[in-house]
Structure 1
Amino acid sequence: MRPPQAIHNWQMDQKADLNQTEQKPQYISAFRALSGYIRLHLWAFIGVFCCTLIAILSELLQPFLMKIAIDDNLLAGKNDYKGLLVICAIYLALSLSSFVFTYLQSNLLQHIGQSIVARIRNQLFGHIMKQSMRYFDRMSSGSLITHVSSDTEALNQFFNQVLLSLFRDGLTLIFIIVMMFQLDTTLALYCLILLPIISLVAIAFRSFMRTTYQLARTRLSRMVAFVAENLSGMNLIQVFHQQMEQEKQFNERNGSYFKANIREIRTNVVFGRTFDILSNLSIAFVTWIGGSAVLDHNLEFGVLYAFITYIRQFFQPINTITQQWNTLQSATVAVSRIWTVFDSKPDITDRAEQREVLLPEKVKGRIDFDDISFSYEEGIPIIRKLDLHIEPGELIGVVGTTGAGKSSLISLLCRFYDVKEGRIRIDGTDVRDIPQSTLHRVVGLVQQEPFLYSGSIIDNVRMFDESITREEVIQACEFVGADSIIQKLRNGYDTLLSERGSGLSAGERQMISFARIIVFKPKILILDEASANLDSHTEKLIQNALHVVSQNRTTIVIAHRLSTIMQADRIIVMSRGEIVEQGSHKQLLACGGHYRELYEHSQGHVAV
Structure 2
Amino acid sequence: MAAKRLIQYALTFKGIIITALAALMVAVGADVLSPIVSKNMIDHHITGIESEWVETAKSPQAVAYGSRYYKRLAYASEEEKKGKKVSIVQVGKNFYFAEGKVETDGKHSIRNGKVYVTYNGKTTTYPAVRLSYSEVLRFYSPEVPYIINLLVLYFALYIVSGLGQFAQYFYLQKAANRIIQKMRNDVFSHLQKLPIQFFDNSPAGKIVSRITNDTEAIHELYVAVLSNFFSGAIYIIGIYIAMFLLDWRLAMICTVLIPVLFIWMRVYRKFAQKYNYMIRSKVSEMNAMINESIQGMPVIQAFRREKQTKNAFEKLNGTHFRYQKKLLVLNSLSSHNLTGILKNLVLVSFLWYFGHDAASGLVSGLSVGLLYAYVDYINRLFNPISNIVNQFGNLEQAIVSGERVFKLLGEKGEDVSSEAVPRFKGHVVFDHVYFAYKENEYVLKDIDFEAKPGETVALVGHTGSGKSSIMNVLFRFYDCTKGEIRIDGTDIRSLPRQTVREHMAIVLQDPYLFTGTIYSNVSLGDPRITREKAAAVLKAVGADKVLGNLEKGLDEPVIEKGSTFSSGQRQLISFARALAFDPAILILDEATSNIDTETETLIQEAMDVLKKGRTTFIIAHRLSTIKNADQILVLDRGRIVERGNHEELMGRKGKYYQMYQMQHGNRAEEAG
Q: Does 1:564 align with 2:625?
A: yes
Q: Which residue of 2 aligns with 1:310?
A: 377
Q: Which amino acid letter does the alignment assign opposite residue 574 of structure 2?
A: S
Choose the corresponding residue for 2:256, options 188, 193, 213.
Answer: 193
1:265 corresponds in structure 2 to: 328
Question: 1:216–1:264: 8 Å Cα contact kept in structure 2?
Answer: no
**Counterpart secondary structure, 1:375:** strand
- Determine if contact 2:190/2:413 at 8 Å carries over to the other structure: no
Aligned equivalents of 1:282 and 1:547: distance in 2? 87
**2:16–2:171: 8 Å Cα contact kept in structure 1?**
yes
Cα distance change of structure 1 residues 449 and 245 upon mapping to structure 2, 3 Å threshold: closer
CA offsets, 1:43-80, max 9 Å, x none?
33322221111101111211111111111111112621
TM superposition shift of 1:131: 2.0
* Aligned CA distance change for structure 1 residues 148 and 216 (closer, same or farther; 3 Å): closer
Q: SS at the partner of 1:236?
A: helix
- Aligned residue number for residue 26 of structure 2: 54
Alpha carbons of structure 1 residues 551 and 607: separation in structure 2 relative to 1, 3 Å: closer
Q: Which range moved further: 420-429 or 190-199?
A: 190-199
Equivalent residue for 2:349? 285
Change in 2 beyond 3 A, CA 1:316/1:512: same
- The amino acid across from 1:41 in the alignment is F
CA RMSD of aligned residues (A): 2.6
**Shift, 1:217, TM fit:** 4.2
- Measure how far apart 1:249 and its partner are: 5.2
Alignment partner of 2:401 out of 328, 334, 356 = 334
* Structure 2 gap ranges (5+): 50-138
CA distance in 1, matches of 2:476, 2:309: 42
Does structure 2 retain, via aligned residues, the 8 Å contact 1:206–1:322? no
Q: Residue 513 of structure 2 is aligned with which of 438, 441, 452?
A: 452
Q: Give the Cα–Cα distance (whole angstroms) in 2 for the partners of residues 602 and 545 of structure 1.
A: 23
Once the two structures are TM-superposed, the CA of residue 403 in structure 1 deviates from its matched residue by: 1.5
Kindly indicate whether the alpha-carbon contact (under 8 Å) linking 2:193 and 2:416 is maintained by their aligned counterparts in 1. no
Q: Deviations over 1:119-155 (max 9, x none)?
A: 2221221122022223333433333223322232222
Name the SS for the 2:479 alignment partner.
Answer: coil
* Distance in structure 2 (CA, Å) of the matches to 1:234 and 1:175: 60
Who is 1:8 aligned against?
none
Give the 5 Å matches for 1:516-595: 516-595=577-656
**Aligned residue runs from structure 1 range 365-376, under 5 A:** 365-376=426-437
In structure 2, C-alpha distance between the alignment counterparts of 1:585 and 1:600, rounded to whole Å: 13
TM-score by length of 1: 0.88
> Where do 1:223-238 residues align within 5 Å?
223-238=286-301
Query: Following the alignment from structure 1 to structure 2, what is the Cα–Cα distance between the partners of residues 127 and 347?
Result: 9
User: Which sits farther off after the overlay, 317-326 or 177-186?
Assistant: 317-326
1:323 equivalent to 2:390? Answer yes
* Structure 1 Cα separation of the partners of residues 508 and 411 of structure 2: 27
Instruction: Name the CA distance, whole Å, in 1 between partners of 2:432 and 2:315.
Output: 56
Change (3 A) 1:132 1:120: same
Secondary structure class of the residue paired with 2:441: coil
The DSSP-based 3-state class of the residue aligned with 1:504 is coil
| Alpha-carbon distance between aligned partners in 2 of 1:348 and 1:451, rounded to the nearest angstrom | 24
Counterpart check, 1:343 vs 2:410: yes
Cα distance in 1, alignment partners of residues 268 and 193 from structure 2: 44
Q: Is the 8 A contact 2:253 2:349 kept in 1?
A: no
Determine whether 1:505 maps to 2:505.
no
| Higher RCO (CA 8 Å, separation ≥ 6 residues) | 1
* 1:428-467 matches, cutoff 5 A: 428-467=489-528
What amino acid sits opposite 2:256 in the alignment? I
**Matched residue type, 1:265:** L
Q: CA deviation at 1:503?
A: 1.4
Distance 1:229 1:329, change over 3 A: same
Q: Tell me which protein shows more strand as a share of its residues.
A: 2
**Counterpart of 1:75?**
47
Name the residue aligned to 2:540. 479
Counterparts in 2 of 1:340 and 1:101: CA distance versus 1, 3 Å = same
Partner Cα separation in structure 1 for residue 289 and residue 302 of structure 2? 19
Q: 1:184 aligns with which of 234, 240, 247?
A: 247
Aligned to 1:3: none
* Superposed CA offset, 1:406-431 (max 9, x none): 11111222122222232222222222
User: Does the aligned pair in 1 maintain the 2:506–2:586 contact within 8 Å?
Assistant: yes
Contact 1:452 1:460 in 2 (8 A): yes
Alpha carbons 1:397, 1:570 under 8 Å: kept: yes
Kindly tell me the number of residue pairs found equivalent between the two proteins. 574
Verify the 8 A CA contact 1:154 1:327 in the aligned structure 2. yes
Query: Equivalent residues in 2 for 1:594-605 (5 A)?
Result: 594-603=655-664
Q: Which of the two has greater helix per residue?
A: 1
Aligned mates of 2:635, 2:350 — CA distance in 1 = 88
Inter-CA distance 116–542: structure 2 relative to 1 (3 Å threshold)? same
Displacement of 1:240 after TM fit? 3.3
Does the 8 Å CA contact 2:429/2:486 hold for their aligned counterparts? yes
Opposite residue 303 of structure 2, the aligned amino acid is F
The correspondence for 2:13, drawn from 37, 41, 66, is 41
1:434 to 1:222, Cα distance in 2 relative to 1, 3 A: closer
Candidates 237, 241, 246, aligned match of 1:174: 237
Work out which of the two has the higher radius of gyration on C-alpha atoms and give 1 or 2.
2
Q: Distance in 2 between matches of 1:231 and 1:183?
A: 66
Q: Of residues 15, 27, 38 in structure 2, which corresponds to 1:66? A: 38
Instruction: Name the counterpart of 2:205.
Output: 142
Q: How does 1:85-124 map to 2 (within 5 A)?
A: 85-124=148-187
